[in-house]
Amino acid sequence: MDMEKEEVLKRLEKVPEGFGFFIAPEGLFTVDELKVAIKKSSKEGEEIIKIESHYYDFINGKR
């Protein structure tokens, strides 16, 4: 993974509860990459994102 992508993933960890994010281009990250990034700050380690098109919304309000 290049530095730019890694940097974006690190920033995504800091997006708090109640917010989602839009990423273009589509497919910049794989679903697994995003899940790993989000799980790092998840209290319960569960899958807490749903992904629709470019929008990645945190569900359950848990991070």
Partner 1 sequence: MEKDKVIVVVRPNNRSTRYFYYWAKKPIAIAKEKGIKVVDLKVERATSKNIEKAMTLNPCMVFFCGCNDTNKLVGFNNEILIDDDSNGLFSNGTVEVLCVRDTKSNKCAYVGRNEPFVFIHSLSTYNPLDDEVAHVFLDPLADMAVDVLNGLTVGEAFNKSKKIQEEEIRKYSDSEYSFIVPYIFQNMNSLVLLGNEDVKIF
| Omega before 25 within 30 of 0, i.e. cis | yes
Residue 51 DSSP code? E
Is residue 53 part of the contact set for partner 1 (CB under 8 A)? yes
Binding mask 2-41 for partner 1 (x = CB under 8 A): --x---x--x--xxx-xxxxxxxxx-x-------------
**Given the structure tokens 């991070």, which residue do they identify?**
63
Q: Which is nearer to partner 1, 18 or 45 (CB)?
A: 18
- Cα torsion for 38, 8, 58, 30, to the nearest 10°? -70
Name the site residues for partner 1 (rule: CB under 8 A).
4, 8, 11, 14-16, 18-26, 28, 52-55, 57-58
